[in-house]
Amino acid sequence: MSTYSPPQTWIWDDENGGVFASINRPIAGSTHEKALPVGKHPLQLYSQGTPNGVKVTVLLEELLAAGHDAEYDAWLIRINDGDQFGSGFVELNPNSKIPALMDHSTGSRVFESGAILLYLAEKFSAFLPASGPGRTEALNWLFWLQGSAPYLGGGFGHFYAYAPEKFEYPINRYSMEVKRQLDVLDRNLSLRRYLAGNEYTIADMATAPWYGRTVQGFSYNAGEFLDVDIYKNVIRWMDEISERPAYKRGAMVNRTSGAPEEQLRERHAASDFDTKTQDQVG
């Protein structure tokens, strides 16, 4: 049993946070001066290929595949190096989290991955019904994911994979919640092809890099621990999404891990997938 008792007033120790201690702190603001690069396209994305980053690059690649004028530059923000605390990035996103988007055609900055998905879907009138129950249902599941993913990432992922010590109580607490959420998805997908019905929407794009990757066994190498094979409907749904060419491309952008041929550190043109993956430039 733990003997820890919270102090009267919590004081930050720069060793808090395990492997992420060097980039976590209890205050906002920049730590250094660094301007953001700007490419040739109106849409400038600053991100890394985490689940939250992949949401946005998948949508951008899906928009391009559907014929929309959604060309973009994707710049790598190395969060383990603290790039998100550079002055230019903090000006774009005061919360210092990836992804962040600047749309120079409208002068709009957009931060929070769910907000970026909604912004782009409305800008291009794609992957989100314009009105009616279908739109409401897609937004239900988009915001469900935005509220649920911190349990999988910040909760389960942290204590299961990253915390400096293993503690039974938080691992049990977050495992229970993640499995409940997987069951929510599985029951929904037993009745529908996609999360909001028969139409592929930004809700699916948001959820696939999180819970879809989990049932494929990739998230924190915890597939067996979470017994993901029982979520047959989620697996079916993710298997279909994983085969979409635009999903495959989006999952490569700003990626810094995995097979070199699956990493496109920066993306500035469609041809980069053929010439600038990490196995070709590394």
What's the confidence (pLDDT) of residue 22?
72
Domains of the chain: 43-127+252-281 (3.40.30.10), 132-243 (1.20.1050.10)
Length of the chain: 282
pLDDT surpasses 90 at 23: no
Calculate mean pLDDT across residues 73-93. Answer: 97
What's the confidence (pLDDT) of residue 2?
66
pLDDT surpasses 90 at 262: yes
Q: What is the pTM of this model?
A: 0.96
* Token pair in block for residue 121: 């879907």
pLDDT per residue as tens digits for the range 170-196 = 999 999 999 999 999 999 999 999 999
pLDDT per residue as tens digits for the range 247-256 = 999 999 999 9
**b/e sequence 11-46, b meaning 16+ C-beta within 10 Å:** eeeeeebeeeeebebeeeebeeeeebeebebebbbb
pLDDT surpasses 70 at 5: yes
Greatest Cα pair distance, the chain, in angstroms, is 60
pLDDT surpasses 70 at 33: yes
What's the confidence (pLDDT) of residue 50?
97
* Token pair in block for residue 226: 């979470």
Question: What is the torsional sign of CA 42, 146, 51, 204?
Answer: negative
pLDDT surpasses 70 at 87: yes
pLDDT surpasses 70 at 1: no
* pLDDT-derived band at 282, boundaries 50, 70, 90: confident
Residues 237, 189 contacting (CB under 8 angstroms): yes
pLDDT per residue as tens digits for the range 220-230 = 999 999 999 99
Q: Which residues contact 13 (CB under 8 A, 6 or more apart)?
A: none
What's the confidence (pLDDT) of residue 25?
87
Per cent of the chain over pLDDT 90 is: 91
- Burial of residue 259 (CB within 10 Å: 0-12, 13-18, 19+) is exposed
Of 8-17, 30-39, 236-245, give the lowest mean pLDDT range: 8-17
pLDDT surpasses 70 at 17: no
Calculate mean pLDDT across residues 27-55. Answer: 98
pLDDT per residue as tens digits for the range 126-146 = 999 999 999 999 999 999 999
pLDDT surpasses 90 at 3: no
